[in-house]
Amino acid sequence: MPWFHLIIAGLLEIAWAVGLKQTAGWTRLWPSVITVALMIASFFFLSLSLRTLPIGTAYAIWTGIGAVGTALIGLYIFDEPRTVARLVCILLIVAGVVGLKLASSSQT
């Protein structure tokens, strides 16, 4: 269950990062309210995962899910540049997240 909570927390991190862009610097009420709610939910699920997962592993995977997901949304929804360097860096983050998961599986 802690890995499920961590994945949910990471997906919520993607949602609040995208929501943060929609707040226009916290000047739009409802996008701001929704973004704060998503932040709270993300932290809540992260905290549930930390009941049993090592903090270093959980935090790195949470931020990795958020970083990769947000970067991909930036590429495909916000039409950010799709350079080889950016894609390679995203793959390196994915490799790090997978590596941490595999290294932690033998401990939990």
Structure tokens at 4: 């499920």
Question: Which tens digit of pLDDT belongs to each residue from 13-63?
Answer: 999 999 999 999 999 999 999 999 999 999 999 999 999 999 999 999 999
Coil, strand or helix at 24: coil
**Domain limits at 16?**
2-105
Coil, strand or helix at 52: coil
- As for how many domains the chain has, the answer is 1
Nearest-angstrom CA–CA distance, 103 and 56:
12
The reported pLDDT for the residue numbered 30 is 97
pLDDT at 105 over 80: no
pTM summary value? 0.88
Structure tokens at 69: 């997901």
